[in-house]
Each structure stands twice: as structure tokens, then as C-alpha cells.
Amino acid sequence: MSGHTYRMKNPGPRLANQAFLRDFTPVRLLGVLRFLMLAILCASLLRCAMYAQQLPVIRFVRNPDVAPDFKLKDFSGKNLSLSDSRGKVILLNFWATWCGPCRAEIPTLVKLQERYKDQLQIIGLVVDEDEEDPVRQVVAAEGINYPVAMAPAEVRVQYGGITALPSVFVIDKEGRVVQKHVGLFDPALYETEIRALADLPVAARVETFEDTGEVFLKHADRATSLPGVDFRNLSAEQRDAALHKFNAQQCDCGCKFTLAQCRIYDPACKISQKRTAEIVKAIAGSEAKTDKKENDVPKAEIPASPSAPATTQQPPSP
């Protein structure tokens, strides 16, 4: 009898599982599945958000300008223009044979042109060369597989003046300049930008920015800050007045740029740095003089209160 009671109070695993399944209705099962799916989705979104924050960032110009076109002859005698490569990403590379960083990045450009020949067109424009023979020797020695031509002065001017080498303008498939790089750059950055503009998968976040002279110097008038210029002691109105002068006056260093353009393109220029500092000081000083004059205006005498006794001067004693 006691054994029978023991079995009733402690049913075996089979009876317990049957009771659990009997109570676990399809409605409850659906609710559990929904909860698990929601938990998995939230965890996935969290991982994606954390991954996105860790991705490198590439930046392109918002509302970019169309790249100035040109018609040149490359060293193979073929016609060369930007319009011929419309529909491809273009790296317009200004370089010189005597430029060490320019020569150092040529092998990378050759590999990129080969790897993305269906999506990319690299164009090399040589500056500061009087003779073509040295250029032809470099083209042959480096195995350059993209067109190379001499860059006439008018083309350099159209691209803001090329005062630093190498200078690479990144042009999208619609022929618009979306980025510019000066100096020797990381090959991985070039490749990531090419893939993004060619609508290929990239492990990077793409952000946009307004060009305030970083890409085209003609947009320097949009800048609200300039390298090496201290606006901290100026009000907003004074800062605008200073920026207006920077964009109206030409730098005397020989660059033929405005003071604002020179500060953006050549932050090491001592002449534009000194002149902009003088302008800032003058504007801040003129405001200080105005405040001083206002404080020096004599104030009207305040009559004595009627309730106060008048003060009279006693005559001297005889």
C-alpha cells in the first residue's frame, strides 16, 4: 500500500513529461517562440550597432561640383579627357617624376587600376616638367597601366592650383569631385573609396560633409574656421567681418590665393598666418576702442534729492 502511495506522489519521468506537454498549449508555445525571436533580433541589432561604431569612416562631399573637363594627348598619342571615362570612378592624380611620395604610390595605383579596371579609371597628370623624356622613362620603368599626360597651367588653375604633390581628386561616376587627398595616402583608403563609389560592398561607414575649401579652394568663402587662425576673442559678427577680409585680400607669398585659401591649402605659410592674425587683432582692437569711447562719455549730473539738505560753503573767518 505504501509502495502504491509512493508511486502516486512521485510519478516517473514519462508521466511528468506528459503532464508538461498537456499544459503547454500551442498558444503558449507561440508566445515563447515570439519572445525568443524578439530576443535574437535585439541581440543582432545590438551587435550590428556596435560593429558599425567600430567601422572606419570615409567622407565624401555633400552636393559636389562637376570636375572641370580637359582635352589632352597622353603619352601614347591618344586623346584624353574626363568625359571619356564617365560612368567610372576616376582618380585624377597630379604628380611629378622628382616627387618621392608620387613615385612611391605608383605601384599601388597600378594594382588598383588592374584590380578594378571595369569600375575605375586612373589618370596621371604631370606637373613641373619641361621635358617629356623623363616622364616616359618613369612610365616605362614603373609599368604604368593608366593614361599619363602633361598638365598645362590652365588645368592646374581649374583645380585650385597644384602646390602640393601628389594631389589626387576622387571623382564619382557622375563626374563630380567628392574628395581630395594631398600627400602619400593609405592604399586601403583609396580602395575603400573606389568600392563605395562603384557600389561595391565596403566595410566602412560613409559620411558626407560640406566643402569649405578642403576640396575646391573656390569654396573657402564657406569656411567658418581656418587653420592657425584664433577667433576665440571675436564675437560672431567680428568673426564674419574677419572672414570677409580673408576672402577679399590676396596673400603676398606668391601663391595667388586669397588669405583664406592660403590658410587652407598651406597652413605652414608664415605670411598668411601673420596677416590673418593682424586682421583679427585689428578687428578686436577696434571693438575695444568703441567700447572705451562709449564708457568715456560724461554722464549727466544727477540733481540732489529734494529731501536732502543743501550744502553751502561757509565764508572764511575774519
Whether 39 is in a domain gets the answer no
Whether 157 is in a domain gets the answer yes
Query: pLDDT per residue over 235-248, tens digit each?
Result: 999 999 999 999 99
Cα–Cα distance between 25 and 31 in angstroms, integer?
A: 10
Q: Are residues 101 and 184 in the same domain?
A: yes
Q: Are residues 144 and 171 in the same domain?
A: yes
Q: Are residues 77 and 197 in the same domain?
A: yes
Short-list 159, 130, 158, 135, CA closest to 147: 135
- Is-catalytic flag, 48? no
- Is-catalytic flag, 269? no
Residue 14 pLDDT greater than 90, yes or no: no
Whether 66 is in a domain gets the answer no
CATH (domain of 127) = 3.40.30.10
DSSP-derived secondary structure letter, 254 = S
Q: Are residues 77 and 190 in the same domain?
A: yes
Whether 12 is in a domain gets the answer no
> Which residues span the domain enclosing 165?
72-209
Q: How far is CA 183 from the centre of its chain?
A: 16
Q: Are residues 205 and 120 in the same domain?
A: yes
Given a contact cutoff of 8 angstroms between Cβ atoms, the answer to whether 257 and 265 are in contact is yes
Whether 58 is in a domain gets the answer no
Determine the residue type at 152: P
The total domain count for the chain is: 2
Q: Catalytic residue, from 42, 48, 99, 255: name it.
A: 99
| Residue where a domain terminates, one of 159, 186, 209 | 209
Residue in the structure block whose three cell numbers are 600627400: 183
Q: Is the alpha carbon torsion for 160, 162, 163, 167 positive or negative?
A: positive
Q: Are residues 99 and 158 in the same domain?
A: yes
Q: Are residues 192 and 249 in the same domain?
A: no
Whether 225 is in a domain gets the answer yes
Query: pLDDT per residue over 35-75, tens digit each?
Result: 777 767 766 555 544 444 578 999 999 999 999 999 999 99
Whether 204 is in a domain gets the answer yes
Whether 46 is in a domain gets the answer no
Q: Catalytic residue, from 42, 102, 251, 255: name it.
A: 102
CA angle 182, 262, 167 (to 5 degrees): 15
CA angle 154, 175, 226 (to 5 degrees): 65
Query: pLDDT per residue over 18-38, tens digit each?
Result: 555 555 566 666 776 777 777
Angle of the 270-296 helix axis to the 236-248 helix axis, nearest 10: 140
Reading the block at residue 174, the C-alpha cell is: 557622375
pTM for the model: 0.69
